Structure 1
């Protein structure tokens, strides 16, 4: 009999005394195991996958004035199974709060079908760093089918609607979409101090890298790479360019 999970994990961060952040809720479920360290909450794979048919959901709440970093201990390997696997993240960040979400890459193994969606609601004055990296197949294999969508609102207004659909093999192999790259990713920086104006409003583009100021308080960095190492370098370069325009108070959160 095949294994299928419908798991829902959650983390709630609240501002504590002396400017530190405390976790009022940390709930693991099935393969979504959460582990607290002094500097971040880590996603730990408690089972292989996700496999086709798995439905995984992560709920994140960062209260006013709180700071939370979410990382993972290893890459996520998406494997084939019965149907499409899904990973959904829903997050809310209060005024003065900061969420830094930067797990290790997702690897779309051959034969897999996966959909990743994230919906983030930032209150006025909230801040966000959101990094996503996708590796198209393991070494020497064809990639699986992957679709990702990121929806972000700021102060109740839409800030970003960003989608990359690689479920059609013709799209994955099109030079007009990925240009033969084996890895693709993005970093979204949003919050106070990131409103572009004047000369700073121009987008920056280089080989495999684009830095796009948004209409609201944010900058979107997108990059392509031959592999994970090149992709990470280009994303870091783009993030440095974005923060060179405006430097909000970003950084890892320390959890009490």
Structure 2
């Protein structure tokens, strides 16, 4: 495994540019997965890790490769440009989790911050991405862009959670986009915007008075003949099949704790291996 320590972040016009890389592969025994490449960069600190809390799909299995992402500095701040490239090699299983929530802050010199993630999940691989929430602090201006290419016989589950400001504050501007292609064909393309510049985001058709918004996307080739049926299981949450072997769970809530509970309920409805478990017990 190639592992590099975090170098000094590259300053550019008073902001940081960081590029980190993570890859997994199936080990020589054909059963255990391992991290084949791990390169941190400045504020993006990647480290091999042990299971952290509840996991769907993998359930803390010891044959999976696990990595935690930590923040080496505060931010991102306005003007910062972060990117993380992830490759889940054929047949391997990778679990990626965060050490803590990401707090997006305004920069002293203004400007928009950006976080880009480019992910490839190869044949027969399994990817569990279980990050902590992104908190859009007052006056921030942030873009979060995720692109995922998944092979037709790969499995994946990911969670996204965004919190509209810290306690008692109005959030800054936040824009995210999640694009997933499967076998080269579009599977999911979702955009979210909120903050002072997002006209109508606080309307009843979008977020209303919610303080948190999130989703879970699960992809499983076992659903080729039909994904689980739609289920609007709460006034602020629903499970929806996608046009492919995949489902989306979407939820809005008053705060991060209520949001997490709604998303966990969605996984419980999905059932089977998708229920998040911690040491054999259900959890979040």
Verify same fold: TM over 0.5. Answer: yes
RMSD between aligned residues:
2.2
Residue number in structure 2 paired with 1:190: 219
What TM-score do you get using the length of structure 2 for normalisation?
A: 0.82
Pair 1:204–1:173, CA change in 2 (3 A): closer
| 1:41 has 2:41 as partner | no
Once residues 25 and 110 of structure 1 are traced to their aligned partners in structure 2, the CA distance between those partners, rounded to angstroms, is: 36
Residue number in structure 1 paired with 2:27: 16
CA deviation string 1:195-216 (max 9, x = no partner): 4639x43343421101110110
CA deviation string 1:118-164 (max 9, x = no partner): 10000111111110100000011101111111110112211111111
Correspondence list, 1:174-213, <5 A: 174-195=203-224, 197=226, 200-213=228-241
Instruction: Give, in angstroms, the shift of residue 248 of structure 1.
Output: 7.2
Pair 1:13–1:250, CA change in 2 (3 A): farther
Residue number in structure 2 paired with 1:223: 251
Partners of 1:191 and 1:248 within 8 A in 2: no
CA deviation string 1:76-123 (max 9, x = no partner): 000001211010100001111011111110000000011101100001
75, 97, 102: which is aligned to 1:76?
102
Which structure has more relative contact order (CA 8 Å, sep 6+)? It is 1
Once residues 130 and 110 of structure 1 are traced to their aligned partners in structure 2, the CA distance between those partners, rounded to angstroms, is: 27
State the SS of the aligned residue for 1:172. coil
Correspondence list, 1:1-256, <5 A: 3-18=14-29, 19-39=31-51, 40-81=66-107, 82-167=110-195, 168-195=197-224, 197=226, 200-243=228-271, 247=273
What TM-score do you get using the length of structure 1 for normalisation?
A: 0.91
Pair 1:224–1:112, CA change in 2 (3 A): same
Once residues 160 and 91 of structure 1 are traced to their aligned partners in structure 2, the CA distance between those partners, rounded to angstroms, is: 14
Partners of 1:192 and 1:248 within 8 A in 2: no
Aligned length: 249
Once residues 79 and 249 of structure 1 are traced to their aligned partners in structure 2, the CA distance between those partners, rounded to angstroms, is: 33
